[in-house]
Amino acid sequence: SAVISQKPSRDICQRGTSLTIQCQVDSQVTMMFWYRQQPGQSLTLIATANQGSEATYESGFVIDKFPISRPNLTFSTLTVSNMSPEDSSIYLCSVESVYGGELFFGEGSRLTVL
Amino acid sequence: AQKVTQAQTEISVVEKEDVTLDCVYETRDTTYYLFWYKQPPSGELVFLIRRNSFDEQNEISGRYSWNFQKSTSSFNFTITASQVVDSAVYFCALSEAQAGTALIFGKGTTLSVSS
């Protein structure tokens, strides 16, 4: 299984600021996925990050709000820009097993926007 | 379009009761994967099972069992002799059966097991 480390694990942010979440994997992976879990809700896919190309965003998510970097096969960042209280969520990074099919998840970054 | 429906929002049982969590899915793909994840109060997502659409054999793992029925597009999860530690949110999810495909999650079922 892959070990995924996310930083920060939690943060309290002020409205209008931006925060970058880091995701580090202990092995090389092709695809990395960023999910959002709003309070009491399910997981919603924000975007798919492929190394060497621009991230692919799901409907309702845009690059200006959630810019993503994927500089190599073990690391990605998600920035939540110009935050509002509605952005208060857990943001999770996930990667696919090298054997395909199973997704592993980081422990999530819990953001609270005041 | 793919969709996962978990109609049960919350379930409460007493320890040692059996409980079944329902999952119904929609997909146009002929090949796909189905998953169950557990999210305890601590927040991390714990992988429980992955099932390939070609494998309709039911699976048992300890107190956990899964019933996959393609005819009704259901992938239900049963916990036998529930325990307090089973209290968590359980998510059913679906993905295309090809590399690099993200999961589509259901809304989750919150299971509360009391002693």
How many Å from the N-terminal Cα to the C-terminal Cα in chain B? 41
For residue A96, what pLDDT is reported?
A: 81
Q: Which of A97, A26, A108, A39 is nearest to B45 (CA)?
A: A108
Give the CB-side neighbour count of residue A32, counting CA atoms within 13 A.
Answer: 35
**Which of A75-84, A99-108, B38-47, B87-96 bottoms out in mean pLDDT, i.e. has the lowest?**
A99-108
Position A35 confidence tier, pLDDT thresholds 50, 70, 90: very high
Residue that the structure tokens 């690391």 belong to: A75
Q: What is the pLDDT of residues B44-68, one digit of tens each?
A: 899 899 898 988 888 888 999 999 9
More confident residue, B97 or B112: B112
**Closest Cα in chain B to A10:** B43
Q: Which of B43, B103, B104 sits opposite A108 (nearest CB)?
A: B43
For residue B57, what pLDDT is reported?
A: 83
Mean pLDDT of chain A: 92
For residue B56, what pLDDT is reported?
A: 83
- Find chain A residues with C-beta within 8 A of B54's C-beta: none
For residue B30, what pLDDT is reported?
A: 87
Q: How far apart are the CA of A48 and the nearest CA of chain B, in angstroms?
A: 8
Does the pLDDT of residue A99 top 80, yes or no? no
For residue A98, what pLDDT is reported?
A: 66
- Find chain A residues with C-beta within 8 A of B50's C-beta: 101-102
Mean pLDDT of chain B: 92
Does the pLDDT of residue B100 top 70, yes or no? no
Looking only at the bridges linking them, the beta strands covering B32-39 and B46-52 are antiparallel
More confident residue, B87 or A29: B87
Q: Report the DSSP beta bridge partners of residue A89.
A: A111
Q: What is the pLDDT of residues B10-37, one digit of tens each?
A: 999 999 999 999 999 999 988 899 999 9
For residue A97, what pLDDT is reported?
A: 72
A17-41: b (≥16 Cβ within 10 Å) or e = eebebbbebeeebebbbbbbbeeee
Q: Which of A31, A45, A101 sits opposite B33 (nearest CB)?
A: A101
Tell if the CB–CB gap between B43 and A110 is shorter than 8 Å.
yes
Position B1 confidence tier, pLDDT thresholds 50, 70, 90: confident
- Find chain A residues with C-beta within 8 A of B103's C-beta: 33, 43, 45, 94, 103
For residue B44, what pLDDT is reported?
A: 86
Q: What is the pLDDT of residues A37-79, one digit of tens each?
A: 999 899 999 999 988 888 999 999 999 999 999 999 999 999 9
